[in-house]
Chain A
Amino acid sequence: MTDIVHDRRTLIAGGTALLIAGATGLTVPARAQGVAPTASMRGGANNYLPGAPIVERIGGGGFWMTGTVRRAGDGAPLAGQRIQIWAHTTEGHERDPHSHGATLTDADGVFRLEMPQIVPAFGQPHGHLAYDSGDFATVFLRPVMSSARDTSLEAHFVLQQA
């Protein structure tokens, strides 16, 4: 019996200690010193082809992929960053090289690339974007369109020093 009582005491003591630790942990200010870096999304790198060329637009266009690139921490816009974009569109599959293209961010860290209309593939209408130029840690994104009828899609990068 004493063993059981002892166990219960240990449990209560341990539980209390855990609670205090948890509560204290909550009171410690979160280490969110500004803007947190964007994590790669699941499946973001699927059908990635390295070195997509910088293009005026992918194929015939008609659909806009837009977004921003900022620096983790202070959130400063990053100009001249190369973003690669690919998707299953009306003009080709994700794996087709002609479905891939890249663009650079402007002085405000904004990128905009015209491409063919994205159509649902593998169950969702979605696009792929990559940052892998090396100055910052590589990030792969896979945003999903809220409707297959949308004619634009956006994705935002917050990059961390590599």
Chain B
Amino acid sequence: MSLGSIRAVLTWICIALLISVPIVIAAQSPLLAWRRPVYIVAGFAGIVGMAFLLLQPMLAASMLPGLGGSRGRSLHRLVGAGLLVAVIIHVAGLWITSPPDVIDALLFTSPTPFSVWGVIAMWALFVTTFVALFHRKLPGWRRIHLSLAIAIMTGSIVHAMLIEGTMEPTSKAMLCAAVFLATFIGIFGARRARRSWLRR
């Protein structure tokens, strides 16, 4: 086994653990016993969304072994669509569970501070989707997308960390830290890659 393939295997093991461990632990949360299926689905859609947030910057910046370049970018679009679906299921499921709480959150009048962060991230994701679908040829597209990506990442992490829910705190913090690092390195690394591409 070459050094490169060992590194690839280790990278994928790390990512698999960062994503699967929080989901497996959350699936054993005692809170699930007192929730209806639609509420449970809504909660897990949020966790899956966070997992997608870990993949997104890595796909965009060709950080994942075997998924570089155009393969990574087309997967980035696919996972982006998946993230949008996850967020819609998350919000819709919560709405069905308790409409007034979701209306409060959407109107920024919720008593819970975490919902504001979640709603900010949601709107940043919606704007990103809109711009990605219709205005990708805009000259400032890259900068717009990176700014929105930072808003989505920050909003989602603060949202998740402030919630007392089915996710176990340590595995949740690990996933959130990984999302932060991936976004940070993805943006920095992508810049460096672009610079070296310009130099060629």
Other-chain contact of A120, B31, B36, B111 (Cβ < 8 Å): B31
Given the interface pairs A120-B164, A122-B94, A123-B164, the reply to whether A43 lies near B34 with Cβ below 8 Å is no
B112: chain A residues at CB < 8 Å are 43, 122-124
Interface size classification for chain B:
20 to 34
Given the interface pairs A41-B111, A42-B110, A142-B111, the reply to whether A123 lies near B162 with Cβ below 8 Å is yes
How far is A46 from B111 in the complex, measured between Cα atoms in Å? 11
How far is A11 from B115 in the complex, measured between Cα atoms in Å? 42
A90: chain B residues at CB < 8 Å are 33-34
In contact, B104 and A46 (Cβ under 8 angstroms): yes
In contact, B115 and A123 (Cβ under 8 angstroms): yes
In contact, B104 and A42 (Cβ under 8 angstroms): yes
In contact, B104 and A120 (Cβ under 8 angstroms): no
In contact, B165 and A43 (Cβ under 8 angstroms): no
Kindly state whether residue A119 has any CB partner on chain B within 8 Å.
yes
How many CB-defined contacts (below 8 Å) exist between A and B? 53
In contact, A123 and B165 (Cβ under 8 angstroms): yes
Stretch of B53-61, B95-103, B134-142 contacting A (4+ beta carbons < 8 Å): B95-103
In contact, B34 and A119 (Cβ under 8 angstroms): yes
B111: chain A residues at CB < 8 Å are 41-44, 142
Given the interface pairs A43-B104, A47-B98, A122-B101, the reply to whether A89 lies near B34 with Cβ below 8 Å is yes
How far is A98 from B135 in the complex, measured between Cα atoms in Å? 51
Q: Which of A45, A46, A142 neighbours the largest number of chain B CB atoms within 10 Å of its CB?
A: A46
Kindly state whether residue A95 has any CB partner on chain B within 8 Å.
yes
Kindly state whether residue B11 has any CB partner on chain A within 8 Å.
no
How far is A28 from B176 in the complex, measured between Cα atoms in Å? 51
B163: chain A residues at CB < 8 Å are 123
A88: chain B residues at CB < 8 Å are 34
How far is A119 from B59 in the complex, measured between Cα atoms in Å? 38
Name A45-64 residues within 8 Å CB distance of B.
45-47
In contact, B104 and A125 (Cβ under 8 angstroms): no
Q: How far is the CB of B116 from chain A (nearest CB, A)?
A: 12
A95, closest chain B residue (CB): B98
Kindly state whether residue A156 has any CB partner on chain B within 8 Å.
no
Q: How far is the CB of A41 from chain B (nearest CB, A)?
A: 6
Q: How far is the CB of B173 from chain A (nearest CB, A)?
A: 16
How far is A148 from B97 in the complex, measured between Cα atoms in Å? 20
Closest 5 A/B residue pairs (Cβ): A42-B111, A46-B100, A43-B111, A123-B163, A120-B164
Report 24 cross-chain contacts, Cβ distance below 8 Å, ordered by A residue: A41-B111, A42-B111, A43-B101, A45-B100, A46-B100, A46-B101, A46-B104, A47-B98, A89-B34, A90-B34, A93-B97, A119-B31, A120-B31, A120-B164, A120-B165, A121-B35, A122-B101, A122-B112, A123-B114, A123-B115, A123-B164, A124-B164, A125-B164, A142-B111
A interface list, Cβ under 8 A from B: 41-47, 88-90, 93-95, 119-125, 142, 148
